[in-house]
């Protein structure tokens, strides 16, 4: 399941530094705009302590965590919706992603230039919001008059639904609101909204990039961002990208933990970001555990057992008979699959079972 989160922001806010920490790829992190000309793609593993604990019991040949793709996209400037800077390329790259990680500069450093001359994360946020909204408005206005004719003159039912959606989005965008603030009640409207692939319907995570001293508690800039996004229902993470880069250079787990403790942190910002991005994409994992491997398999929250079986192989879904399910906590508490069976805690589930995050699964099928 190749799903992507795009890292966006103005030039020189720390996007590429953060990307390097996340993926261990080496995107340029230079002190000038547009050093990331082509989007850099990193496939990153999703931290999951459950796999490590299961491996201590099962002793598999390997551990295979879930992954998600992170794309570092060239910095955007005011006027991008009209092609300024690398605007068209930026907007094309972000359109291909499933969610947005919006990096905001929340640190002072006279040695790192700001494209607009001063540090103001709320202004920076609004610049990118506005450019994305203007591009969405352009898309809406190119369709709305044509669809209106079909909806009003032709009596086309699908066109009426689409026009309702377009009009609602148009009204929000004109007011300077992102399309994600608009909610639809019917499945038909929700599908029509999805099919528009607007930039501002994508879920967004705001990452406040701070200095090391503010990594644990944030700072005044972070509080300004919290106030600005309080009505969006968006998540905020505080990360010190330069500190994370230093942590990533350390060789051992023990060294990294000591560094984190010295900074007043219990978990690295990168780990928190990856987990949040995974959840933001509405993804969960089920686990298979055996002597060959302990593996996390990615599925969309709410999927039923046959769909999840299909993640492993299409034949598993096509010939699905049943799923044998062990709850993670039961496996850890009792110490083996055999002990779980003896305790009567191995559950036999059919086609309607909604898989839960962390379920340890074995599928029976016949084709």
Q: What are the binding residues? A: 12-17
What residues are paired with 69 via a beta bridge? 4, 43
Cβ count near 171 (within 10 Å): 12
Residues 6+ apart with CB under 8 A from 166: 140, 143, 144, 147, 196
- Kindly state the tokens that stand for 76: 């955007």
Q: Which residues are annotated as a binding site for ATP?
A: 12-17
Separation between Cα atoms, residue 157 and residue 18, nearest integer Å: 47
DSSP helix/strand/coil, 162: helix
Strands across the sheet containing 99-105: 40-45, 67-72, 4-8, 99-105, 204-209, 235-239
CA dihedral 300, 69, 64, 20 (to 10 degrees): -140
Q: At 272, phi and psi to the nearest 5?
A: -65, -40
Residue with structure tokens 């309080």? 230
């Amino acid at each position: 399941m190749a799903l992507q989160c795009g890292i966006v922001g103005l030039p020189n806010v720390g996007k590429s530094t953060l990307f390097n920490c996340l993926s261990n790829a080496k995107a340029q992190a230079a002190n000038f705009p547009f050093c990331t000309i082509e989007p850099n793609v990193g496939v990153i593993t999703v931290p999951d302590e459950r796999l490590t604990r299961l491996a201590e019991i099962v002793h598999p040949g390997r551990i295979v965590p879930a992954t998600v793709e992170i794309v570092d996209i060239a910095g955007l400037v005011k006027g991008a919706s009209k092609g300024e800077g690398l605007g068209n390329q930026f907007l094309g790259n972000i359109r291909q992603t499933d969610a947005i990680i919006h990096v905001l500069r929340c640190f002072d450093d006279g040695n790192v230039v700001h494209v607009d001359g001063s540090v103001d994360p709320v202004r920076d946020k609004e610049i990118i919001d506005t450019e994305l909204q203007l591009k969405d408005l352009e898309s809406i206005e190119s369709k709305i008059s044509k669809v209106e004719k079909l909806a009003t003159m032709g009596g086309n039912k699908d066109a009426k639904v689409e026009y309702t959606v377009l009009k609602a989005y148009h009204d929000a965008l004109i007011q300077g609101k992102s399309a994600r603030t608009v909610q639809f009640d019917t499945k038909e409207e929700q599908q029509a909204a999805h099919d528009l692939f607007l930039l501002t319907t994508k879920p967004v995570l705001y990452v406040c990039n701070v200095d090391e001293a503010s990594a644990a508690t944030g700072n005044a800039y972070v509080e300004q961002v919290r106030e600005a996004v309080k009505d969006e229902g968006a998540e905020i993470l505080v990360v010190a990208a330069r500190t994370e880069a230093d942590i990533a250079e350390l060789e051992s787990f023990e060294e990294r933990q000591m560094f984190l403790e010295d900074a007043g942190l219990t978990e690295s910002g990168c780990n928190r970001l990856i987990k949040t991005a995974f959840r933001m994409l509405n993804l969960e994992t089920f686990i298979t555990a055996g002597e060959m491997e302990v593996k996390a398999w990615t599925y969309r929250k709410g999927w039923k057992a046959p769909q999840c079986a299909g993640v492993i192989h299409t034949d598993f879904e096509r010939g699905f008979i049943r799923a044998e399910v062990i709850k993670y906590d039961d496996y850890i508490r009792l110490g083996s699959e055999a002990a779980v069976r003896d305790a009567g805690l191995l559950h036999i589930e059919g086609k309607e079972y909604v898989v839960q995050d962390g379920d340890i699964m074995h599928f029976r099928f016949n084709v």
